[in-house]
Amino acid sequence: MGCKNDVPIEKSVLDEKIEALSDSRLSIHIDNFRNENSYENDSTHSFHYFKDSITKEQLVKLTYHKYPMVRVYSFLALNEARYEYMQEVIFGHLSDTTEIMLNGGCVIYTRTISDFIMEKAFDYLKGNTKDSLRDLIFYNHPELGAFSNILWDCKGYEPYYQKVLQINQDSATRASLMALASYRKEKDLDFLASEINKLAYDFKKFQIIEEYPHDRFIPFMYDYHKKFQKDNMNDPDDLFYAALASYKNKWANGIFMELINSGPKDYYRNRDRLQAIMKATAKHDTILFEDIRKKAYRNLGKDTFNIRYFDFSKFDSWW
């Protein structure tokens, strides 16, 4: 939606308007991003002043205003108006580290303005411009939250390999190890195995193994499975099922069959196990797992599965 009023506002008048809004309805909270409480549905929200009464050129200047929320609302107004030079605005705010508070429904959390803008930017930008922003953040701005998202999502993107390797050699994290594992390079196996052994929590190990399901990690996976075969009170982590399914081989298929046949007697625990198996084998789908999913589904009972957990509708033909 474009600006409805293209008549320039005198700078002094604009400043007075902004000051008035800042004294009243401009809060450090952005409390408008839930659908049921959106600024778009609130005709009195100060955002509408930015959207409807200020020209795009003035909005660009206001993205550098002293008030953080003025910068945010100005950016949002430009974003909604599909400002044609939006990439220049986005690239100009990589270093805006002022923190704002966001209402995520039940949780209020903080985020820097730069991270807030980058999140919107990746939805807005397309093609080479989006790629350029991603590269700029990845190589030059590791302090941004968007950097971690790029690292999580690089998934074997070859141009980033050397940088990912360097990050791990300097200070490995779960996200960086997952990124490195996603390249599935034999030369990294010793390093990955060593770093996996240092991790305190098994679920982190499973996330890395899922990215690189190599035979090197089978002994750890098998020992974990055997531990829970002897434990009648606890169940494997859901991420174990996903890592197991990523192998897509007869060994994994056999473990899944054991897990189904030795399910806990408690109905709810067994239901959760069967649903986790179905979810994992659907994520890493292969014809090899079809019989596993059918058996798990039939053991659940047609009317007893937790539909919120997984969409089983496509399996109705199995009944």
Phi, psi of 66 (to 5 degrees): -70, -25
The bridge status of strand 99-103 relative to strand 108-112 is antiparallel
Which positions ≥6 away from 184 have C-beta within 8 Å?
A: 156, 211, 212, 214
29 versus 258: the higher-pLDDT residue is 258
Which two structure tokens, joined as six digits, stand for 129?
Answer: 């411009």
Beta sheet of 99-103, edge-to-edge order = 29-30, 99-103, 108-112
Report how far residue 288's alpha carbon sits from residue 268's, in angstroms, rounded to the nearest whole number: 27
Share of residues in the chain with pLDDT > 70 (%): 77
What's the mean per-residue pLDDT of the chain?
80
18 versus 185: the higher-pLDDT residue is 185
Confidence (pLDDT) at 33? 35
164 versus 262: the higher-pLDDT residue is 164
Which two structure tokens, joined as six digits, stand for 204?
Answer: 């982190």
| Chain segment 55-103, per-residue pLDDT in tens | 888 889 888 887 787 888 889 889 888 888 888 888 888 888 888 877 6
| Chain segment 123-135, per-residue pLDDT in tens | 777 888 888 889 9
Q: Is the pLDDT of residue 319 over 90?
A: no
The amino acid sitting at 16 is E
pTM, two decimal places: 0.75
